[in-house]
Amino acid sequence: MADYFCDSSALVKRHAEEVGTAWMQGICAPAAGNEVWAARVTGAEVVSAFWRKVRGGTMSTANATKVTRAFKDHFRNQYRVVEVRAATIEEAMDLAQQHGLRGYDAVQLASAKSVDADLQSMGLPPLIFVSADDDLIVAAQKEGLATENPNSHA
């Protein structure tokens, strides 16, 4: 059992067939006993990704409707959703400046750092930050987080 913080690029893979889908399904399966954390903004990002796939012709409307429904259920009932607070945004602004991250990527990283600090303050093992974004993975590593890239699990 482990604590995973998954950004939107990782959680999309749980529902849309891509490299790393089986690995993401494994770590997110309730039977695995892992805690899966996600920032509140991830909800909008993941649903947006599904429907961009429809517009791009790589996912059918029927499949997007199905996976959107499943994702929303998981988001409400399976993930530990992290609220984005003013302090998170302050940290995200600093991370965007330090690492040249996009806005929501910086929010993802700031949220993960907050969860990791809380876990470690309770004497729990460190959080594992999961993203399919190489730049975000590098930034997370520089910030001292353990990382996984689902693209490495073909």
Token couple for 51: 């429907």
Mean pLDDT throughout 30-37? 97
Q: Which residues contact 37 (CB under 8 A, 6 or more apart)?
A: 3, 4, 5, 6, 79, 80, 81, 82, 111, 112, 115, 127
Average pLDDT, the chain: 97
Q: Which pLDDT tens digit goes with each residue over 101-148?
A: 999 999 999 999 999 999 999 999 999 999 999 999 999 999 999 999
Q: Which pLDDT tens digit goes with each residue over 84-101?
A: 999 999 999 999 999 999
pTM of the model: 0.96
CA distances from 66 to 28, 110, 125 (A): 18, 31, 35
All structural domains of the chain? 3-152 (3.40.50.1010)
The residue with tokens 């997370």 is: 140
Token couple for 43: 């909800």
